[in-house]
């Protein structure tokens, strides 16, 4: 699809201590996205300095680490305030390839979905070498649970490479600040009746030893936390962010 016919969009990238990758990622995404938002989630390495050296991007800075979910909630609010038609989110560690951005936008242009969600595990694809066993196992367990309880029919519950119809985000209110945020997101998306489509993306793990931090480094504790967030959201009253979160 010609670039001029692709939907206007904001590209948002949450960042925390990504001095190794952030400049290369920004160089790559600028080939496909004009409007770029970086959410610096309290980085303590050279990331803030490097971001200041890049022209033509907008940076939201958390004074301390607030979590992946909070970074995405800020991206949602930013896109809504500025009335972008579509928001694309991706990670800053080179696990998501910029070349896929036009594919997400082409899928958005088909206008038959509210969310285009990347999947690293489409039917028929092997899990791939280098994938930490506990991450794949937890993803599989929770993806199956979401499909069973919410009828989603997805294959990857935790891929951060997504395109969102921004008007649909008015029905979503993210309050979970950390890595369990997707469990809240999927419940709210199902409750709102959002149309979900998956888009296969390449599975890349540059550093399988990366930590979640704190208790989440223990796979048993991490799974229990994700399940707790899911169960809590299932019984929560429907909430809508009528005002934008700080």
Domain boundaries, the chain: 3-235
Longest alpha-carbon distance in the chain = 47
CA–CA dist 1, 15 (Å, integer): 30
* β-sheet bridge partners, residue 119: 200
Per-residue pLDDT tens digits for 128-161:
556 778 888 999 999 999 999 999 999 999 999 9
Per-residue pLDDT tens digits for 8-67:
999 999 999 999 999 999 999 999 999 999 999 999 999 999 999 999 999 999 999 999
Which homologous superfamily is 3-235 in?
Spore Coat Polysaccharide Biosynthesis Protein SpsA; Chain A (3.90.550.10)
- CB atoms under 10 Å from CB of 57, counted, come to 16
- 46, 152, 173 from 144: Cα distances, Å: 39, 9, 24
């Amino acid at each position: 699809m010609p670039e001029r016919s692709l939907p206007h969009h904001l590209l948002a990238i949450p960042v925390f201590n990504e001095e190794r990758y952030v400049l290369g990622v920004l160089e790559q995404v600028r080939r496909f996205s004009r409007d770029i938002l970086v959410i610096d989630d309290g980085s303590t390495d050279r990331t803030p300095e490097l971001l200041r050296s890049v022209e033509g991007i907008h940076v939201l800075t958390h004074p301390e680490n607030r979590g992946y979910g909070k970074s995405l909630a800020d991206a949602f609010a930013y896109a809504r305030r500025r009335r972008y038609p579509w928001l694309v989110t991706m990670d800053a560690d080179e696990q998501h390839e910029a070349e896929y951005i036009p594919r997400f936008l082409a899928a958005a242009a088909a206008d038959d979905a509210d969310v285009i969600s990347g999947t690293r595990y489409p039917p028929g694809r092997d899990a791939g070498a280098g994938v930490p066993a506990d991450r794949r196992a937890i993803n599989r367990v929770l993806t199956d649970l979401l499909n069973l309880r919410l009828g989603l029919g997805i294959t990857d519950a935790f891929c951060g490479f997504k395109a969102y119809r921004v008007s649909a985000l008015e029905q979503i209110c993210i309050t979970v600040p950390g890595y369990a945020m997707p469990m809240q997101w999927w419940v709210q998306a199902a409750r709102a009746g959002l149309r979900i489509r998956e888009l296969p993306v390449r599975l890349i793990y540059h550093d399988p030893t990366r930590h979640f931090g704190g208790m989440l480094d223990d796979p048993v504790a991490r799974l229990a936390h994700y399940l707790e967030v899911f169960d809590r959201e299932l019984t929560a009253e429907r909430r809508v962010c009528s005002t934008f979160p700080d």
